Amino acid sequence: MATDTAIDVVMPQMGVSVSEGTITKWLKQEGEEIAADESLLEISTDKVDTEVPSPGSGVVLQILVQEGETVDVGTKLAVIGPAGSTPPAPAAEEAKEEALP
């Protein structure tokens, strides 16, 4: 399903007793297009290792959690925007632009 608004990708609940997971690998990078249900990232928990599908189609705008980080279920991992969207500029570049007179 294509979207006209941004979609948040969150750490899914992988089982009743699983409260956190570790990002093991991003399969898509910022700026890349992705289809609904296409694998977006791999996660590891104490019970299972699995791929997480994209909740919608569009462009990966932001990756908020890096590989190797462990986060709680429900944590926002990434943002997917409408097709044709471009990722935001890195914070360092924005700071330089604001500093210019």
pLDDT computed for residue 47 by the predictor: 85
Cα 29 off chain centre by: 9
pTM of the model: 0.79
Fill in the amino acid letter for 1.
Answer: M
Q: How far apart are CA 81 and CA 32, in angstroms?
A: 11
pLDDT computed for residue 84 by the predictor: 78
Domain 7-99: top CATH class: mainly beta
* Residue-range domain boundaries for the chain: 7-99
Q: How far apart are CA 11 and CA 34, in angstroms?
A: 18
SS3 of residue 7 by DSSP: strand
Q: How far apart are CA 50 and CA 39, in angstroms?
A: 10
Angle at 7 between CA 4 and CA 11, to 5 degrees: 165
Band of the pLDDT at 100, cuts 50, 70, 90?
Answer: low
2-52: pLDDT as tens digits: 557 899 999 998 888 889 999 999 999 999 999 999 999 999 998 889 999
SS3 of residue 94 by DSSP: helix
